[in-house]
Chain A
Amino acid sequence: MNELQKLIDYFVTYPFVRYAFAVGLLIALCASLLGVTLVLKRFSFIGDGLSHVAFGAMAVAAITGLTNKMVIILPVTLLSAILLLRTGQNTKIKGDAAIAMISVGALAIGYMLMNVFPSSANVSGDVCSTLFGSTSILTLKKSDVTLCIIMAVIVIAAFLLFYNKIFAVTFDENFCKASGVNANAYNLIIAMITAAIIVLAMNLVGSLLISALIIFPALSAMRVFRSFRGVILCSAVISVLCAAVGIMLSILFSTPVGSTIVTADIAVFLVFCGISAVTGRIRR
């Protein structure tokens, strides 16, 4: 145990390890806050759709040679979030079909652009890193860390500021509308926060695994807790702990960061399912 502690202490002296922890845990915290709302509103797959859009936007940003790719990725993902939300409401192409269409479309176009106009000699490496976040979180620049902290502050502030409204819109949108609350505006805020989290989380787990970061902590917490507040707090704790354990294990054993974090999330989900089954039987 002492040896492991020494090894961890030694690794933490490296700045990229500290950057990875700061960014990883902040993203995990933000994702878990919104995850509960998205799962309850049956929007679990919006994260997946938007992450593919972000991948496509990243491919476009890469071929334009921009040093700061966020200039393209963030607005495109935000716009898609708004479009997906609007399409889900009142057009011919409804919710899941719209998400599937935009998601696979952006993924295909992104991958094609990366191959036709390669921005580096190692296209498969770039694709692997973007889709699965193989080492992205361990290769952050100081500017990435600063941007992540600013965006996390905005996301958490928005969540805390609109907590009561988000709660209301999550559980009964029709009642909200009837009581004069502008539910569409709050749905828009939820979509925009989701887009911001997706863009942030691409660095941590890659675009294919983002949904797991949003969904698993919320689902785990829902197995055991019954109140909205309880589920959100438990989900935040699970998400941050799993991210910390995942990053640490991937550093110690050289495993891909994204999949290690998601594996930790799955393990916690199974444990919480077990707890839920046992406590359910006792209650009965």
Chain B
Amino acid sequence: MKRNIAAVFSALLLTACGNPAEDSMLDLTALNQTMQYSQVNQMLYEPGSYLGQTVQICGEYYKGNHEPIIRVLDEQACCAAKITIFPADESTFDGIENFSEITVKGVFGTFQSYGVDFCCLNQTERIYVSKTEE
């Protein structure tokens, strides 16, 4: 009995071992909504593992008073993860309406604002936009 439980426990511990996906291009658009949200969250928690990696994300575009962001929601739309997107050139995000569905590709990195580290996509290119201003 005790041996059986100990064996099951050891097997479960091994499940957590292993390295993150190591492809240079991380295409999150291939994942479903919840998986994409979870992966973005993972990148925000442990940015060090993803620095310099090219990432393709699909989410909601929003530009307020600061830099534009991409918001990735889970399937039930109850949780959201946000990443700041720095455009490859000044016209990259011209004419995109707030809350449009957008797919972008950029290099994952971090930046500091008011002494706090934030995650971002640098040199971001737009791949697809659902709505643009006329």
Of B73-81, B85-93, B100-108, B114-122, the one contacting chain A is: B73-81
Q: How far is the CA of A16 from the CA of B42 in the complex (A)?
A: 7
Asked whether B79 lies within 8 Å of A122 as measured between CB atoms, the reply is: yes
User: With an 8 A cutoff between CB atoms, is A85 at the interface?
Assistant: no
Chain A 14-43 per-residue mask, 1 if CB under 8 angstroms from chain B, else 0: 111111011101100100010000000000
Chain B 9-21 per-residue mask, 1 if CB under 8 angstroms from chain A, else 0: 1001101111011
Asked whether B16 lies within 8 Å of A18 as measured between CB atoms, the reply is: yes
Question: Which residues of the partner chain A approach B12 to less than 8 Å between Cβ atoms?
Answer: 22, 25-26, 29, 240
User: With an 8 A cutoff between CB atoms, is B123 at the interface?
Assistant: no
Question: Which residues of the partner chain A approach B74 to less than 8 Å between Cβ atoms?
Answer: 134-135
Q: Which of B1, B32, B79 contacts A129 (CB 8 A)?
A: B79
User: With an 8 A cutoff between CB atoms, is B53 at the interface?
Assistant: no
Q: Identify whether the interface residues of B are mostly helix, strand, loop, or mixed.
A: helix
Chain B 31-58 per-residue mask, 1 if CB under 8 angstroms from chain A, else 0: 0111101110110011001000000000
Query: What's the minimum C-beta distance from A119 to chain B, rounded to whole angstroms?
Result: 14
Q: How far is the CA of A235 from the CA of B54 in the complex (A)?
A: 45
Q: Which of A19, A122, A163 contacts B2 (CB 8 A)?
A: A163
Asked whether B2 lies within 8 Å of A16 as measured between CB atoms, the reply is: no
Closest to A255 in B: B75
Asked whether A25 lies within 8 Å of B15 as measured between CB atoms, the reply is: yes
Q: How far is the CA of A232 from the CA of B75 in the complex (A)?
A: 36
Question: Which residues of the partner chain A approach B9 to less than 8 Å between Cβ atoms?
Answer: 26, 29, 152-153, 156
Of A138-146, A179-187, A217-225, the one contacting chain B is: A138-146
Query: In A150-204, which residues have CB < 8 Å from any B CB?
Result: 152-153, 156, 159-160, 163
Asked whether B16 lies within 8 Å of A135 as measured between CB atoms, the reply is: no
Asked whether A233 lies within 8 Å of B4 as measured between CB atoms, the reply is: yes
Asked whether A135 lies within 8 Å of B34 as measured between CB atoms, the reply is: yes
Query: In A115-152, which residues have CB < 8 Å from any B CB?
Result: 122, 124-125, 128-129, 134-135, 138-139, 141-142, 145, 149, 152
Query: What's the minimum C-beta distance from A178 to chain B, rounded to whole angstroms?
Result: 26
Question: Which residues of the partner chain B approach A229 to less than 8 Å between Cβ atoms?
Answer: 1
Asked whether A29 lies within 8 Å of B21 as measured between CB atoms, the reply is: no
Asked whether A139 lies within 8 Å of B38 as measured between CB atoms, the reply is: yes
Q: How far is the CA of A156 from the CA of B2 in the complex (A)?
A: 10
Query: What's the minimum C-beta distance from A251 to chain B, rounded to whole angstroms?
Result: 6
Query: What's the minimum C-beta distance from A35 to chain B, rounded to whole angstroms?
Result: 14
Question: Which residues of the partner chain A approach B13 to less than 8 Å between Cβ atoms?
Answer: 22, 26, 149
Asked whether A14 lies within 8 Å of B1 as measured between CB atoms, the reply is: no
5 inter-chain pairs at a CB distance below 8 angstroms, sorted by A residue, are: A17-B38, A21-B16, A22-B12, A254-B34, A256-B76
Given A16-B42, A156-B5, A254-B34, 17 more pairs with CB closer than 8 A: A11-B35, A14-B21, A15-B21, A15-B46, A21-B15, A122-B78, A125-B79, A134-B78, A134-B79, A135-B79, A139-B42, A142-B45, A149-B13, A156-B6, A163-B1, A251-B34, A254-B75
